[in-house]
Amino acid sequence: MSDAARVCVYGAPPAGLVEVPRGAVQVSPLSPGGESLEELASGSLAAAVVAAPPGTVERRYVLARLLQALAPGAALTAVAPKDKGGARLRKELEAFGCTVAETSGQHQRICRTERPPEPTGLEAAIAAGALQHHPTLGLWTQPGVFSWDRPDPGTRQLLAALPALSGRGADLGCGLGVLALAVLEGAKVSRLDLVDIDARAIAAARRNVEDPRAAFHWADARLAPELSGLDFVVSNPPFHDRGVEDRELGQGFIRRAHQILRPGGALWLVANRHLPYEAVLNGLFSRVTPRGEGAGFKIYEARR
C-alpha cells in the first residue's frame, strides 16, 4: 500500500449509515483487485472503516489486523447487523483495549473508536483467524472461507458422482480446492483453472493443489478470467451474498460455464435441492441429465 493511500475500507458498509473516507482503498478479500489486508504496514493508516464479517473468529481477525495497521490515535469505524455480530462488536473492540462509542441504525450497530497506544490481544486474534493447516480436513484453510473447517456435503455428493475427466477444464468457485484435487487425479486432464472471488480461498488452494496443471485466479467466476473452448467445468456455486440467499448467483455460474465450454463440453454441477436451476440449464444446454440426489442436494451433468 502506497504512502498516499492512508485510509482503507473493508467490505461494503451500508450507504448513508457510515461515511467511507474519500480515497479509501478496499482491503476485503472478496473484492478482486483490491489491496491485501495482510500486507498493510503496521501503523500506516490514518483511518479505517469496516463492514465487520459475521463469523466471530473472522471478525476478530479483521478488527485486529486493522488495529495493527492503524497509527496510534487513528480512527476505526466498525459496523455490523445486530444479529450478525453487531451485538458483540463493542465488547470485542474493548477486549483489544479500545474505548468505544456505540450507536445504532437500520438494524446495524456502529462502533467508533481509536487505536489505543498499546492494543491488547491482537496477536492471538490474528493467529486464530490466519491461513492455517486444519488437522481434520488435512488442508490449508482460513476462517471466513466457505466450509473452512468441515467437509461440505454438497461437494462430497459431487465428488461421488464425478467420472474421470479429460482435457482442459475449470473449477468455478473452487474454494479450498477439494474438487480440483479429485479432478487432477485424472491423468488425462491437461489443465485446470481454479477461480474464486475470495482471495483467502485462492491462497489456500495454491497450497492444497500443488499440481503444475493447475492455474489460480482471484476473480468473480461469472465474469473472469478469459476462458474458452473448455472440455469441462465443475462447480459447487454459492447462493448467498453477505448472508442473504441470492439464487441469481448460481444461475450466473451456469451461464458462465455455458460461455466457456466448447460444443459438447460438460458442466458438472451440485446444487441445493430447493434451488431453481433447471430452467436455466435446460434453456442453455443441449442435454441436461440428473446424476444423483441425496442429503438435500442434486447433481447435474449438462452438455453444451
What does the pLDDT average to over 249-275? 94
217, 225 in Cβ contact below 8 A? yes
Mean pLDDT across the chain: 94
In this prediction, residue 1 has a pLDDT band, given cuts at 50, 70 and 90, of: very low
pLDDT digits (tens, 9 = 90+) for 250-259: 899 999 999 9
- Long-range pairs, 117-122, Cβ under 8 A, ≥24: 117/72, 117/73, 119/64, 119/67, 119/68, 120/95, 120/96, 121/64, 121/95, 121/96, 121/97, 122/64, 122/67, 122/68, 122/96
pLDDT digits (tens, 9 = 90+) for 8-52: 999 999 988 999 988 999 999 999 999 999 999 999 999 999 999
25-34, 130-139, 235-244: lowest mean pLDDT where? 235-244
